[in-house]
A = this chain, B = another copy of it.
């Protein structure tokens, strides 16, 4: 089952010819989750052949235009495409009135249900779950209220080795116990340990999106051990003062978060338009956290499924 992140926009507030502002898509088990929705998001989705209809949930980190201004066009496009399934938007409560003002103005007769969920930018909260996945919002520190998001696969149940069901004549209650980790005493009195009865489950995968934010050690606590961390790195560390003034993080700091949190890999992005080449930022990050990558628009990072 797929668990991958596609970067639609890796730039910051000023789009360049190579980098659009912020938007990511998580593909978790063939359901797409959109994270931020800058201007141009719907065009990128089409260009990258990501099916718009597979998106039912949109998570908006904060209400700056470079994270939100693609929303009104996308909502209008859904209407023109004849969408009927509900669309859920998770964002700070202040988005709701301007969202509806724009929808009422620009979308002719909204034909699908648009459900607004107000985020709590002060605490970690579970904001969504389905059978495979749950999503937490975490507080970030920006000029305005901002949330990061952590997408976590649920722990898999143990899968029983099917050929053993007949061999040991297992009933439904045996199977349920084994799936919950129990060993088996066979009809001959032999003790068969659970590990011999089941396949090792798959490791639950996780992805955290942290943008925009000041450097914060608390963020490292929240994202501890995630497989993939996307963290903004708007500036190189020689512009630390500017990063602080504007509520942003340097590449060095983003890598420090990754290191302190012990994540699997780090992807930095939300680069200031001043960097035509982001190699120096990547080099800076790698010095602190070697498994760092610099985001490019259109890149996909897949996390392979591995047994525990």
Lowest 7 CB-CB distances: which A-B pairs, in order? A65-B106, A39-B73, A17-B47, A65-B76, A69-B73, A17-B46, A98-B105
Residues in chain B near residue A64, CB distance under 8 A: 106
Partner of A39, one of B39, B63, B101: B39
Chain A, 71-101, CB within 8 A of any chain B CB:
72-73, 76-77, 80-81, 98, 101
Interface residues of chain A, those whose CB is within 8 Å of chain B, are 13-17, 20, 39-40, 42-43, 46-47, 63-66, 68-70, 72-73, 76-77, 80-81, 98, 101-102, 105-107
Residues of B contacting A42 with CB < 8 Å? 15, 39
**In the assembled complex, which residues on chain B have CB atoms less than 8 Å from the CB atom of A15?**
42-43, 46, 73, 77
Choose from B13, B40, B81 the contact partner of A40 (Cβ within 8 Å).
B40
Chain B residues positioned under 8 Å from A105 (CB to CB): 63, 98
23 A-B interface contacts by CB (under 8 A): A13-B77, A14-B80, A14-B81, A15-B43, A15-B46, A17-B46, A20-B43, A39-B39, A39-B42, A40-B40, A40-B43, A64-B106, A65-B72, A65-B73, A65-B76, A65-B106, A68-B106, A69-B73, A69-B76, A69-B106, A98-B105, A101-B101, A102-B102
Contact B69 A72 (CB under 8 A): yes
A13: B residues at CB distance < 8 A: 76-77, 80
Residues of chain B with a CB closer than 8 A to A98's CB: 101-102, 105
A39 contacts B107, C-beta separation under 8 Å: no
Q: How near does chain B come to A40, taking the closest CB pair, in angstroms?
A: 5
